[in-house]
A and B are shown apart, each in its own frame.
Chain A
Amino acid sequence: MKAKVYVTLKPSVLDPQGKAIHHSVELMGWQGITDIRQGKYFEIALAETLDAERARALAERLAREVLSNPVIEDYRIEIEEP
């Protein structure tokens, strides 16, 4: 089983990297791109002995306690069953 964790900056937090990318994209002449925000993506392989519920709980804890900083970031989890 695999967990996919997406960590993104909270909407209230400025993202200077995303802004720089957006600015460059505008300079390149791309049309219709109104904003870009950059985040992090983790692929986590989980032990086969875990059922879906325990796998989600484990990934949830990892995302909350290690992969994200609650002061500035949110996270979202997807569990991919084999």
Chain B
Amino acid sequence: MKFGVIVFPGSNCDHDAYHVVSKHVGQPVDFIWHRETDLSAYDAIIIPGGFSYGDYLRAGALARFSPVMQSVRKFAAHGRFVLGICNGFQILCEAGLLPGALMRNRDLHFICRHVHVRVENSDTPFTHMLKQGAVLRLPIAHAEGNYFCDDATLDELEREGRIIFRYCDERGRLTDTSNPNGSRASIAGICNRGRNVLGMMPHPERACEDLLGSSDGSAIFNSLATTIAKMAES
């Protein structure tokens, strides 16, 4: 099994993701420069957080035209796994691999703090080691995390169980104050129809060690790694 972490000019959580995969998941991982196009060696691609292309035009809008993104599109179409975190989620939405868009936070501020998210669907390759309804404590760090989609898209996401994480309070309740950025339906993470592409604003890679205030994020990487291992066996 091999992971790849894509590096755009302006990515800044690439080393965190690399560290978690190599040290905590214990799997081989490469950095992939955004000019690369060959992803055939990989089972899972992580699009990390940061400010690709300085967030110019719109967050993720320019990164989606990078050569590697054409390959990520094909990679995802073949059912292989793509995890977009923060800026990675923004890029996946801009690229049309996930529906909707991430807009400026409701209160306009850059928010950098730990929040709670509820696991809305534990039946995915990324969340099967978590309990349905479990509350995770994960950090967010973004100015454009306000998830928006139209009514039809929201219905579809709900109906198909593709809302994976929602912002909540420490007891798992959805309230207006537990929604940090104004996201529609408190959405913090969604997946595609094939359930092999997940985008989320919170940073699980920054929450894999108790020393960092939370290790709740590690189950997401471990879920993915065990999914890949099982697929390799069968």
Contact = CB atoms under 8 A, between A and B. Distances in A.
Contacts of B99: 71
A67 B57 CA distance: 7
A2 to B, nearest CB: 19
11 contacts: A13-B148, A16-B105, A16-B108, A16-B146, A16-B182, A20-B108, A69-B101, A71-B93, A71-B101, A72-B103, A72-B148
Contact of B100 (A14, A16, A71): A71
Given A66-B57, A69-B94, A16 B107 contact: yes
B35 interface: no
* A interface secondary structure, majority: loop
Interface of A: 12-14, 16-17, 20, 66-67, 69, 71-72
Interface in B32-82: 57-58, 61, 65
Interface in B103-118: 103-108
A41 to B, nearest CB: 13
A20 B106 CA distance: 10
A14 B101 CA distance: 13
Contacts of B148: 13, 71-72
Nearest to B58: A69
Interface residues of B, number: 20
A77 B83 CA distance: 36
A71 B149 CA distance: 7
Contacts of B101: 69, 71-72
Given A13-B148, A72-B148, A66 B61 contact: yes
Contacts of A20: 108
A12 B184 CA distance: 13
A37 to B, nearest CB: 13
Among A13, A67, A69, max chain B CB count under 10 A is at A69
Nearest to B105: A16
Contacts of B149: 71
A20 B108 CA distance: 9
Contacts of B94: 69
A9 to B, nearest CB: 8
B122 to A, nearest CB: 28
Nearest to B61: A69
Contact of B106 (A13, A16, A67, A72): A16
Interface string B136-155: 00000000001011100000
Task: Please provide the 3 A-B residue pairs with the shortest distance between their CB atoms, ordered closest to farther.
Answer: A71-B101, A72-B101, A69-B101
B185 to A, nearest CB: 14
A16 to B, nearest CB: 6
B181 to A, nearest CB: 10
